[in-house]
Amino acid sequence: MPACSYLKEYTSFECGGDSRGGNTTFGSPQPQSSIAESYELVDYAKARIQQAESARDRRRESRRPEKYLRLAEADEMKFSHSIQFNAVPDWSSHYIAYSNLKKLIYALEKTIHRPPVGEEDAEQSPLIHSEDPDQIFQRALDVELEKISSFYQLKELEIYGEVSEFLKDEESYESENADQLDGADGGIPNAGGRASDRPRQGSVFRSFHSGRRASTVSKSIDEGVEDSDDDDDENTALTKSRVSLGKRTKSMPYDVHGGRSEDMRASTEFNKSARRNSNSYDDYAEQAFSAMYSSGITLKKRAISLFVQLCELKSFIQLNKTGFTKVLKKYDKICDRNLKAKYSEKFVAPAYPFKPETIKHVEDNIARLEQAYADVVTQGDVVVAKKELRLHLREHVVWERNTVWREMIGIERKAQAANMGLRRTLLGRDNDPAKARLQGDDAEDLEIKELETPVGRIRIPAWLYSSTMLTLVAIIAVFFILLYLPIMKKVEQQNCLAMLIFVSLLWATEVIPLFVTSLLIPFLCVVLRVVRSDDKPHHRLEAGPATKYIFAAMWTPVIMLLLGGFTVAAALSKYDIAKRIATFVLSKAGTRPRTVLVTNMFVAAFASMWISNVAAPVLCFSIIQPMLRNLPSDSDMSKALILGIALASNIGGMLSPIASPQNIVALQIMSPPPSWGTWFFVVIPVGIISILLIWVILLVSFKPGKGTTIVPIRPVKDKITGIQWFISLVTLGTIILWCVSHQLEWLFGDMGVIAIIPLVLFFGTGILTKEDFNNFLWTIIILAAGGLSLGKAVNSSGLLHTIANAITARVEGFSLYGVLVVFASLILVVATFISHTVAALIILPLVHSVGMGMDEPHPNLLVMGSALMCSAAMGLPTSGFPNMTAIMMEDSQTGQRYLQVKHFISRGIPSSVVTLVVVVTVGYGLMLIVGM
């Protein structure tokens, strides 16, 4: 076969004559000079795929040798990790070089999609541009296949030889064992005929374990205690058996000679002779059984070692076969080829390690070894033998598919919730992952500062002087001032006002986590006694009734609706249904930058409708990875794509009741809550117009089409499985029930009850696991629950009614439209600087009360308009989950973030303003039409 060295900075390939490479390294990437990261193929023509496009790119290449292994799609199961943790350490260099093959795939992808160059660019053109990518990749696969086959055949020969030798030794041991037992029974060693003429059940070693079975083997299996190489329990068992045998041998002189005691006492000489014979036989028996004991233990350890090696050999076949399947599938997907079926059938399947008879031969040897172990150790019980042998195997590590919520947790841990440098906690510790303590680092001492006082210097922890602590102290001071400063006439309203401002300041400054503040609300409600009875005349509730009242407000059907939305999102993401739909749509967008950008934005908005705008950006950013890989690091198209998806996801947060937490809060406040059909009638036109206007802003500001080549998105070609059909049908049925929930109120009562259906079906059938349930964003759920309890407390105390009356008097001359503009603008500003959900929790109850107090009440119109503006606040990186996710997106080659704060300010603020205009014009008209 003609060969060539495919030299590319991404692949670490080198020319070589007789040696073969392709070794896989595990863990962190190694330098290119490392032999474990290189391919050495046979010389073809000293050719390489493309030099660096410019001097700037060359300089950049020299600074990023360790960045290339980070090129992996976010949703891909990490098979390279599976090899790393499941491979036999001594064989690690002989497994398929999965990471190197992935790098080769990405290099070929860039070559395939590189735009044609003119004659003047000959220096930058690839020297083997006419080379078929299939041939290049197939040569790399051939090297891997040859490497794996050669090593397997050598290792198989070695292990099978040891197995054959062990089986011979086991047969010999059984024969000697049987002879020794007959010698003991007959009084004359080795004088009982051939071992083959006697049953194997007479094995002396087997009798060693007859008394041990209940106390060692069964006990260790039942209790799950892993066997080890220590001989303590083996010594114990064998010693017991030897004692019993020793007792038997002490009576053997009498039994052997058959004389009676009076005859033996009659002859002194005979007694002396008998004692000498007895003592010599005891010594001989002791030595014989000691030798048998040592041989038995040695055989047992050899059997365990060979069993482990055979299982490792079987795992070697399985891992490498899976590796070829996955890497061929990845090549076909990324490069849009059809090599998998052809290469697998022609080369992988006929290869010696992957033939059916090869794996059967391994399994046969494992079965023979299990039987031999059973004969020697467990009295022929193969079931017990298998259990004992399997205790010595390592657990096979499997990487399961992630749900989008698990990926969100990973992003949050990495980015510390994209807090833009505000990483310090209350105790002053820095949560920056880059400064985390690593293995071998010294423990970080608590920083101490000295304070000068009249009585001398006092050493105080530095965190007491931190800005976070000072902010917290100031907020607490404001809280106590408000408690005792007479503002309201009634005590419960005075206390509730202090609590409301205290909680709002904690949420706005985030000196403690948002969900912790939410957990503080029921405590304050009970201690401050802000809750009153619902029946008139109102009176303050005591601690007991207030506790029941406030906790009942935390868990409502709205929380179940939020959980149902999380469940649907987890199932759609875990089984790639959402990705399949998104890639199908994006594959139709072509390669024109403008079209690709607007298509990605609408896909992000549509995904936000059903899996929430918290999860949709994570999904969409993983889908566009092929585009980002093949765009220059400083491309404006990359920035436009990422920012466009984030802004569109914010708009998508208003498109359905389950699209964002603030919509859930609005549904709880509105009375009666609008149906899904009414919601769609209002928000879909508003969302479409807003996205198109934001698209224009991005086109004008970024000019992404200038000199940009787009790699098309490939649709998923796998067949739809039964589980995917089931998830799709359950999801569709749940959405339909939500849409007609008002008509079915007599049956279900509330949309939250309908949300239980996907929870039971997905978790009950095992489609989603307990771990998936634990990975839900419980901080958001607690935040929403705390906010609902705050709203209930403010309303119950009468404070909300008092404030609403005061505001209503101030806006008495305003029209409904004027009030909407005022509140929409107010909540836009507030939600830009604090969380969307927090803004909704604080302001929406007030908006509803003001709407109720107007001459022409339209509370639902004002609440819905304000809720839509919560989602439209996107002027800062911290304004909503989509922005937080987008700011953390990094170039996999340079490690630099695609977006900076200035990009959000310069594009996000205009986008928020145009959305405000759309909501107070188009949205206002549509809400009037539906009778809000």
Q: What is the model's pLDDT at position 240?
A: 34
Matching residue, tokens 């329990």: 233
Provide the percentage of residues in the chain whose pLDDT is more than 70: 69
CA atoms of 392 and 386, how far apart (whole Å): 10
Which residue type occupies 329?
A: K
Q: What is the model's pLDDT at position 408?
A: 53
The neighbour count for residue 539, using CB atoms within 10 Å, is 10
Q: What is the model's pLDDT at position 683?
A: 94
| Three-state SS at 556 | coil
Q: Across the strands, what pairs with 552?
A: none
Q: What is the model's pLDDT at position 694?
A: 95
CA atoms of 517 and 529, how far apart (whole Å): 18
Q: Between these two residues, 891 and 239, which has the higher pLDDT value?
A: 891
| Tokens at 211, concatenated | 């008394």
Closest CA to 871 of 573, 715, 663: 663
34-71 pLDDT tens trace: 333 333 343 333 334 444 445 555 554 554 444 433 33
Q: Is the peptide bond before 672 cis (omega within 30 degrees of 0)?
A: yes
Q: What is the model's pLDDT at position 28?
A: 38
- Decide: residue 157, CB within 10 A, 0-12 exposed, 13-18 middle, 19+ buried: exposed
Three-state secondary structure string covering 720-773: CCHHHHHHHHHHHHHHHHHHCCCCCHHHHCCHHHHCHHHHHHHHHCCCCCHHHH
Asked if the model's pLDDT at residue 926 lies above 90, the reply is yes
- The full DSSP string for 525-553 is HHHHT--B-SSSSP-B--HHHHHHHHHHH
**Taking a C-beta distance cutoff of 8 angstroms, is the pair 139, 175 a contact?**
no
Q: Is the peptide bond before 31 cis (omega within 30 degrees of 0)?
A: no
Matching residue, tokens 């020299």: 62
| Three-state SS at 320 | helix
Q: Between these two residues, 593 and 219, which has the higher pLDDT value?
A: 593
Q: What is the model's pLDDT at position 235?
A: 42
H-run or E-run covering 39: strand 39-41
Mean of the pLDDT values across residues 328-352?
86
Output phi, psi for 15, to 5 deg: -70, 145
Which residue type occupies 73?
A: E
Q: What is the model's pLDDT at position 242?
A: 37
Q: What is the model's pLDDT at position 41?
A: 40
CA atoms of 610 and 658, how far apart (whole Å): 7
Q: What is the model's pLDDT at position 272?
A: 46
Pick the range with the lowest mean pLDDT from 81-90, 143-152, 694-703, 789-798: 81-90
CA atoms of 761 and 752, how far apart (whole Å): 15
Q: What is the model's pLDDT at position 776?
A: 85
CA atoms of 868 and 828, how far apart (whole Å): 9
CA atoms of 236 and 256, how far apart (whole Å): 30
820-859 pLDDT tens trace: 999 999 889 888 887 788 888 888 988 998 888 888 888 9
Mean of the pLDDT values across residues 624-647?
85
Q: What is the model's pLDDT at position 287?
A: 62
Q: What is the model's pLDDT at position 876?
A: 84
H-run or E-run covering 495: helix 491-509
Q: What is the model's pLDDT at position 379?
A: 80
CA atoms of 742 and 564, how far apart (whole Å): 18
CA atoms of 628 and 632, how far apart (whole Å): 8
63-116 pLDDT tens trace: 444 443 333 333 344 666 677 677 788 888 888 888 888 888 888 877 776 655
Mean of the pLDDT values across residues 508-522?
88
The Cα-based distances of 289 to 155, 176, 567, 795 in angstroms read 36, 11, 65, 88
Asked if the model's pLDDT at residue 27 lies above 70, the reply is no
Which residue type occupies 930?
A: V
578-618 pLDDT tens trace: 888 888 888 887 778 888 899 999 999 998 888 888 778 88
**Taking a C-beta distance cutoff of 8 angstroms, is the pair 206, 300 a contact?**
no
Q: What is the model's pLDDT at position 80?
A: 65
860 confidence band (pLDDT: 50, 70, 90)? very high
258-302 pLDDT tens trace: 444 444 344 444 444 444 555 555 555 566 566 666 777 888 888
Highest mean pLDDT among 78-92, 122-136, 213-227, 562-576: 562-576
CA atoms of 250 and 255, how far apart (whole Å): 10
**How much of the chain is in helix, strand and coil states, percent to nearest 5?**
65, 5, 30
Asked if the model's pLDDT at residue 922 lies above 70, the reply is yes
535: left (phi over 0), alpha (psi -120 to 50) or beta: beta
Tally of residues, the chain: 932
168 confidence band (pLDDT: 50, 70, 90)? confident
The Cα-based distances of 456 to 179, 193, 376, 452, 464 in angstroms read 91, 99, 80, 6, 19
Closest CA to 178 of 164, 199, 150: 199
679-714 pLDDT tens trace: 999 999 999 999 999 999 999 998 876 666 677 777
Q: Between these two residues, 466 and 186, which has the higher pLDDT value?
A: 466
Mean of the pLDDT values across residues 640-668?
90
Asked if the model's pLDDT at residue 490 lies above 80, the reply is yes
| Tokens at 364, concatenated | 């046969």
CA atoms of 734 and 755, how far apart (whole Å): 7
CA atoms of 487 and 307, how far apart (whole Å): 81
Which residues, in sequence order, are CB contacts of 778 under 8 Å at separation 6+?
515
Output phi, psi for 448, to 5 deg: -120, 140
Which residues, in sequence order, are CB contacts of 786 under 8 Å at separation 6+?
515, 517, 518, 519, 520, 521, 522, 554, 841
Torsion of CA 186, 188, 190, 192, to 10 degrees: -30
Which residues, in sequence order, are CB contacts of 694 under 8 Å at separation 6+?
601, 644, 647, 648, 651, 911, 914, 915
Handedness of CA 58, 60, 63, 69 (dihedral sign): negative
244 confidence band (pLDDT: 50, 70, 90)? very low
Pick the range with the lowest mean pLDDT from 228-242, 331-345, 789-803: 228-242
Q: Across the strands, what pairs with 821?
A: none
Which residues, in sequence order, are CB contacts of 819 under 8 Å at separation 6+?
811, 850, 851, 854, 862
Q: What is the model's pLDDT at position 282?
A: 58
**Taking a C-beta distance cutoff of 8 angstroms, is the pair 860, 670 a contact?**
yes
- Decide: residue 471, CB within 10 A, 0-12 exposed, 13-18 middle, 19+ buried: middle
Q: What is the model's pLDDT at position 180?
A: 61
Q: What is the model's pLDDT at position 43?
A: 39
CA atoms of 310 and 162, how far apart (whole Å): 11
Closest CA to 622 of 175, 11, 24, 71: 71
The neighbour count for residue 19, using CB atoms within 10 Å, is 10
Mean of the pLDDT values across residues 893-918?
88
CA atoms of 76 and 70, how far apart (whole Å): 12
Q: What is the model's pLDDT at position 206?
A: 45
| Tokens at 165, concatenated | 């030798």
H-run or E-run covering 370: helix 356-377
Q: What is the model's pLDDT at position 182?
A: 57
CA atoms of 353 and 360, how far apart (whole Å): 11
| Domain regions of the chain by residue span | 13-115+126-150, 153-225+232-255+289-326+350-390, 554-929
Q: What is the model's pLDDT at position 463?
A: 66
CA atoms of 498 and 485, how far apart (whole Å): 9
**Taking a C-beta distance cutoff of 8 angstroms, is the pair 245, 252 a contact?**
no
Q: What is the model's pLDDT at position 805?
A: 83
668-679 pLDDT tens trace: 888 888 888 899
**Taking a C-beta distance cutoff of 8 angstroms, is the pair 758, 567 a contact?**
yes
405-463 pLDDT tens trace: 555 555 554 444 334 333 445 554 444 444 554 545 555 555 676 667 777 777 777 76
